Amino acid sequence: MSSNRNHKNVHAFQKSNADRNARRRELYRLMPPEEKEILLARRRAKRAEMRKHNLSESSMNNDLTTASSSNSTIISVAQSSNLMRQRMLLLPEIGSTMPSEINYIKLKEVSNCQFCKAIKFEYEQPAFCCSNGSVQLSTHEIPIDLKNLYLENTELSKHFRTYIRTYNNTFAFTSLGVTYDKELAKRNNGIYTFRVQGQMYHFINDLIPIDKKGKNLQLYFFDSENELRNRMACSNKLNEYVVRTLMEILKINPYSMFLKSLVDVPQLSDFYIALKCDSGIDQRIYNLPTVSEVVGIWVEQDITDSILTPHIRIYTKSDKSQLVNYYYGCYDPLQYPLLYPYGQGGWHCGIKKIKCSSRTSTQVYCEQEQLPSIKNMCSIDGLLNMEAEVMLKQKHKRDTISCREYYCYKLQIRDDENIVLHAGRLFQQYVVDE
């Protein structure tokens, strides 16, 4: 009888405790955001104080172990109290949705994609990574010095990964136009979050700065003899050795090579300088772009219609910035030189799919797909929504790789090391941007 009564009491206690936690979560859900922040700040401060108190008690208990055996009961009580407090620290906060006991369910192991060898997860759609082999893109090795900065566990590599967005912005050829949460972006402890509001834009500036203080592509051209000093002046977080290393690495970048070569061009304002929107490189095979494939320079009077292919004009001094559209192949390499050190192209609307002979006749790609022109889309979200509708209705089949398909392929985990996935905070910005 006594054991049954105890069992009922325990069951009733557990039920009342669960109901109390449910009520707390509901009250927390209805709180205004400001009150939530205040409540959580108080709880964190209380926990920090308890941890500090526990550390002092632990130190005291260690000193008491050398005392006589008559004090053993006191030590035992103190240790039990300390253990109870430590267990209390593991309880969920008020308003937390974390259960008191977490039972993880292990996903089943599934075989890799038979076409692109991407590591698959249970319940993941079979065609998500490469559309059943129709999407095939080459991967590129990166310079060994840059790879070491991404992967090594030295203090220098840790510093580089902590401030990787600052380093990338220092060497980027374009400037980033975005409204983002600066407090979250400054966080150096805990989970880093890159959160933006609205659309992200890339701009390219004139070669000669207005205020004699260069930035972005200007650092490759203007006052190049003092390049190291000019780059170090961009931020007090930069390490001189890392900056020197990155300057040496990016000497192979075709955009960098071209801009540095302009220093020796006399009367540069008389020339027409253009960055090609797409290098024309076939991304399905390993092939790195050359300088002539990504940029061009002509005497202004010699320009003809034959060379006016889609491009972005760079002015020596015009007091205005040029917009780099998201559907240009140069959109990624200009903004992310630490992810594209060789200047290899990003997504554009002309990358061809692989036509698989095993597909049925209903899956043949249409040569003339009646979809809205990409130039009429004002944002990447509109483009992705349009693509999603097409995929859902299954009314059109295209022979080019869509923006969604491109990055679904690029961001997969495979046996060959994808360095983009090791970029940490820069990876977050890159994913949000795309």
Rounded-to-integer distance, Cα 340 and Cα 319, Å: 28
85 with 170, same domain? no
What are the pLDDT tens digits along the chain (434 aa)? 555 555 555 455 556 666 777 777 777 777 777 777 777 777 777 777 777 777 666 655 555 454 444 444 444 444 555 554 444 444 444 444 445 556 778 888 899 999 999 999 888 888 899 999 999 998 877 899 999 999 999 999 999 999 999 999 999 999 888 776 666 666 556 667 777 777 788 888 888 888 778 888 889 888 878 899 999 999 999 999 999 999 999 999 999 998 888 888 888 877 788 888 776 777 777 678 888 777 776 665 555 544 556 778 888 888 788 888 888 888 899 999 999 999 888 888 888 898 765 444 334 343 334 455 655 666 666 666 666 666 665 545 678 999 999 999 999 999 887 889 999 889 988 988 87
Same domain, 11 and 154: no
Question: Looking at the domain assignment, is residue 17 inside a domain?
Answer: yes
Q: Output DSSP code: residue 400.
A: B
Residue 177 lies in a domain: yes
Same domain? For 346 and 253 the reply is yes
Q: Please tell me whether residues 58 and 183 are part of one structural domain.
A: no
Residue 303 lies in a domain: yes
- Segments forming the whole domain that contains residue 349: 144-426
Place of tokens 């203080």: 213
Nearest-angstrom CA–CA distance, 17 and 20: 5
pLDDT for the residue 17: 64
Domain co-membership, 229 together with 361: yes
Phi and psi at residue 197, to the nearest 5°: -125, 120
Task: Give residue-wise pLDDT tens across range 99-158.
Answer: 555 677 888 889 999 999 999 988 888 889 999 999 999 887 789 999 999 999 999 999
* pTM of model > 0.85: no
Judge if 261 and 365 occupy the same domain. Answer: yes
Looking at the fold, whether 65 and 200 belong to one and the same domain comes out as no
**Whether residue 6 is found in the same domain as residue 74:** yes
CA–CA separation, 276 and 350 (whole Å): 14
Please report whether residue 118 resides in a domain: no
Residue 172: which residues within 8 A CB-CB, separation 6 or more? 216, 334, 335, 336, 337
Amino acid at 167: Y
Phi, psi of 296 (to 5 degrees): -155, 155
Q: Residue 366: its pLDDT value, please?
A: 37
Q: Which of 89, 117, 133 is the last residue of a domain?
A: 89
In a domain, 99, yes or no: no
**Does 148 lie in the same domain as 24?**
no
Assigned domain for 130 exists = no
Q: Strands across the sheet with 175-180, in order?
A: 175-180, 196-204, 322-324
Q: How high is the pLDDT of residue 50?
A: 79
The reply to whether 234 and 342 lie within a common domain is: yes
Q: How many domains does the chain have?
A: 2
d(CA 282, CA 289): 10
Does one domain contain both 62 and 186? Answer: no
SS3 20: helix
Report if residue 126 sits inside a domain. Answer: no
Same domain, 318 and 395: yes
Domain membership of residue 433 (yes or no) is no
Alpha-carbon distances of 160 from 174, 237, 341, 374, 423, rounded to whole Å: 21, 10, 16, 37, 10
Residue type, 72: S
